[in-house]
Chains A and B, each alone.
Chain A
């Protein structure tokens, strides 16, 4: 039986699928299984090995392997969902391979995003951490809502302009630290520490570190360790940013108070 799908095309498409999934924050085991499902549906014996930094796709009949380089990205779970929907349709035979290819290309280039105002609202709500309910005062939590928005915006805007990794997180931390310390110095806020912890919730890599342990438990040790180290360094740059921000604020307060 002649297979209508050429091997090279299939491998290239699978590589793209894997790349989108990995950069959008899917787990490696999920990436591998999705790619292998697509291969099986196209009647090829495909094997895929994914780590967090690279993706290998190849068929088992021959020796060539397709290598895709991946960089760690932000979460964009809607892309994960769309790819999943498409691959499921393909596996169930509702769309053919050409349609799948077109859809994948579209998803790759499409900017799927909520609007800025929605995201700002989201960042604000996340900044009111349930962890601190009844520990911090309500006024502090209300302030954290706004400080968190500024921190998130700072990190996002810095991330767009500065390509050096980890600087964006540091900027976010700096803004949060500066604002919280300033609020306390002026006398509006009761505890800068509570505001900082609460307002950093959208920035800190807590979910990343939990996912990394889920990967380790799943025996994807390399990806898990890479994610964990990345999360620790992000937290470190946030911490450094906050320290800089608060000390800048106390420096300013000293200078102004000295006059």
Chain B
């Protein structure tokens, strides 16, 4: 039940950010599903390992693989899937909290929040790299399915 609520809310979040950043309409649905599945993965891993690195890393792998697959299927640049589906994972809130403590002149929380931001951003970025490595392994199989429909893209 709880997983379902998380799924729905993160789906709405992703689609909402898609509206703000003007993604093409045909990629709203795949981006939404990618984003919410990544969030569910994050949530499930968080139950096992309550840290920052592993949950974000897993979620980034999910986004990376699903994003690349839907980029091929829906013929959009992969960044268009990445940007909205990242919105619930990215350390924006923590970065804001850090800069607020900075404004208020509190040194210890500033450094802690900024350090957390750095950790999350790096684990997401590394997750994407790993996902892309995995994706290039499965790309030929995917291409075989897609070429039956039309010629492949250069994304």
Q: Which residues of A approach B to under 8 Å, CB–CB?
A: 25-27, 30, 33, 37, 74-82, 84-85, 88, 91-92, 112-114, 118-119, 121-126, 128-131, 133-134, 152, 197-198, 200-202, 204-207, 209-214, 216-217, 231-232, 235-236, 238-240, 242-243
Contact = CB atoms under 8 A, between A and B. Distances in A.
A216 to B, nearest CB: 7
Contact of A78 (B17, B23, B90, B155): B23
Interface residues of B, number: 55
Contacts of B9: 128, 130, 133
Contacts of A125: 12-13, 15-16
Contacts of A114: 19, 22
A239 B18 CA distance: 24
Given A84-B77, A126-B20, A133-B6, A210 B99 contact: no
A136 B2 CA distance: 15
A206 B24 contact: no
Among B96, B154, B155: residue with most chain A CB under 10 A: B96
A213 B122 contact: yes
Interface of B: 2, 5-6, 9-10, 12-13, 15-24, 27, 39, 75-77, 79-80, 83, 86-93, 95-104, 117, 121-122, 124-126, 128-129, 151, 153-155
B121 A78 contact: no
A122 B18 contact: yes
Choose among A152, A216, A238 the residue with the greatest number of B CB atoms under 10 Å from its CB. A238
B83 A88 contact: no
Main secondary structure of the interface of B (DSSP, over half): helix
Contacts of A131: 88, 93
Given A92-B151, A207-B86, A77 B79 contact: yes
B103 A88 contact: no
B79 A27 contact: yes
B102 A128 contact: no
A128 B5 CA distance: 12
A70 to B, nearest CB: 17
B79 A78 contact: no
Contacts of A84: 76-77, 155
A229 B83 CA distance: 19
Nearest to B155: A84
Contacts of B16: 121-126, 202
A27 B125 CA distance: 13
A-B pairs, top 7 by smallest CB distance, nearest first, are A206-B92, A122-B19, A206-B90, A204-B92, A125-B16, A239-B100, A75-B21
Nearest to A24: B22
A148 to B, nearest CB: 9
18 contacts: A26-B77, A75-B83, A84-B76, A122-B19, A123-B16, A130-B6, A131-B88, A152-B20, A200-B93, A201-B92, A206-B87, A207-B17, A210-B86, A217-B126, A231-B95, A238-B96, A239-B97, A240-B99
Given A122-B20, A207-B86, 10 more contacts: A77-B79, A85-B75, A131-B93, A204-B92, A204-B96, A206-B91, A207-B17, A207-B92, A211-B83, A238-B96
B154 A91 contact: yes
Contacts of A235: 92, 95-96, 98-99
A118 B23 CA distance: 12
Residue with the greatest number of chain A CB neighbours at <10 A, chosen from B6, B20, B102: B20
Contacts of A74: 21
A239 B86 CA distance: 22
Contacts of A214: 124-125, 128
Contacts of B99: 232, 235-236, 238-240
B153 A88 contact: yes
Contacts of B17: 122, 126, 202, 207
Nearest to A217: B125
Contacts of B27: 81
